A and B are shown apart, each in its own frame.
Chain A
């Protein structure tokens, strides 16, 4: 997996068209304000990682953007249209794969679930499922049950479920937080590869700064609560990245230090 390319092409498929946008999003539960005025634009094809000190409303923001939570104020738009519930061209991958995959369904049935309402022929659907499972490296797991697989494999299945759906936008909430380090690195590389292949716009929430800088075209740093966007940092590391080589680069180390400093100062300013 060593990348020898010295020229760093732009990430594939990027153009200026904003596909996902949050405008002045505020979310409060009763008197507890979690999100305070979040504004964020994600252009088509971009991979953004959202980081912030623990307790910042990272997951809340993601759930607002996924249409699973209604913002108290402000709007979320997908392809220019304000959303009111989970939007059609979006898929979500959650951290808790062992619960988001349905244990009474085989892997194939799980991946098929979101496709049921799509107007596709039976063979098209199953072709998509096979392709998605192959893309995540599980071509032979279709007839097994999720609980017969390892954690990393289960998360691959839930990624395959999102892929088979062919979303324009993919939201991921700490997707690799509960797998081991090696699996995590594999899954990170898988996401970079899939993003290019499937032309998706991806927003991924993580608490891991290394992961954020490694994956993202742009890292969005949130402040402590109530949460705002502290800074949006472009990551000019090119489209091809490598766990060893990229992470050893000076730019990577500097960016990581920069993000870490921001998060530290943000968590110090958090009212506890």
Chain B
């Protein structure tokens, strides 16, 4: 019995998480079954479109460009955000000088700068990339600064007292110490990245899932539009899940330590 228990618990947890979504989809399926509304086609119609479009007819032409923009944009943001954030964290006078601008950059509604970027870069992949980077770099940059500045004083002192070399000090002590904050920033940016990619595809692209959704709406291919939206939801969910898996891996020490400390039985 005891060997079966973990599996039983797993199945139970899964059941607890899944019953509501399953119920809702079922309800949608039957409620929309005989729908004649142009805007709310039967779910079966949407699923048909979904199968025709995304398994795997338009994966190469639309899904790949979308993911490309997301990953490339986020990747550049991580590089720029961490690099600039590091410089600012270790150079307080500059940080004090640019801090208001950083907050301003973070606060600008991202869409407000899209026309400007389009004017400069035209309608193409550069525009989408620049837009995504400009929208996602801030959380990473700010959390990097925060991560370095809130490094444990005892940790810093230990590194100092053992005369750890600068390179080791940065890559083995400071960067891992700041990593929980940096990764939290990247998680925020990931969510923004997909949203901005879709928007940029709607106005400045001739491919991508965002472009496809808007195109379908404009050509009254409503089931296709819904199928595209559904796909974006699935992509967003999958990206989030993937990121959490990586995060769990990278920050295993962090969660483990918190669990150990709050367990409180160590003496």
Contact = CB atoms under 8 A, between A and B. Distances in A.
Interface residues on B, range: 20 to 34
Interface in B162-180: 162-165, 168, 172-173, 176-177, 179
Interface residues of A, number: 33
Interface in A164-215: 165, 179-180, 183
Interface stretch (B5-13, B85-93, B211-219, B256-264): B256-264
Interface string A105-127: 10000000110110000000000
Nearest to B162: A114
B158 A68 contact: no
Interface in A132-152: 145, 147-152
B165 A147 contact: no
A262 to B, nearest CB: 30
Contacts of B267: 150-152, 179-180, 183
B253 A99 contact: no
Secondary structure of the B contact surface, majority rule: helix
Contacts of B257: 103, 145, 147
Secondary structure of the A contact surface, majority rule: loop
A102 B176 contact: yes
Contacts of A149: 266
A86 B158 contact: no
Nearest to B154: A99
B152 interface: yes
B101 interface: no
B140 to A, nearest CB: 20
B34 interface: no
Contacts of A103: 253-254, 256-257
B17 interface: no
B94 interface: no
A99 B257 CA distance: 11
Interface stretch (A88-96, A221-229, A234-242): A88-96
A104 interface: yes
B156 to A, nearest CB: 10
Contacts of B51: none
Contacts of B163: 86, 88, 114, 117
Contacts of A116: 164-165, 168
A224 to B, nearest CB: 26
Nearest to A90: B161
B160 A68 contact: yes
B266 A104 contact: no
Interface string B228-255: 0000000000000000000000000110
B160 A104 contact: no
Contacts of B165: 116-117
A151 B266 contact: yes
Contacts of A85: 160
Contacts of B173: 102, 113
A100 interface: yes
Contacts of A150: 266-267
Contacts of A152: 267
A147 B162 contact: no
Contact of B162 (A91, A151, A179): A91
A113 B162 contact: yes
Given A103-B257, A117-B165, 10 more contacts: A66-B161, A90-B161, A92-B161, A100-B157, A102-B172, A102-B173, A104-B177, A113-B164, A147-B257, A148-B256
25 contacts: A68-B161, A86-B163, A91-B161, A92-B161, A92-B162, A94-B158, A99-B152, A99-B155, A102-B155, A102-B177, A103-B254, A104-B254, A113-B164, A113-B172, A114-B164, A116-B164, A116-B165, A117-B163, A117-B164, A145-B257, A147-B256, A150-B267, A151-B266, A152-B267, A179-B267
Closest 7 CB pairs of A and B: A114-B162, A99-B154, A147-B257, A147-B260, A104-B253, A104-B176, A92-B161
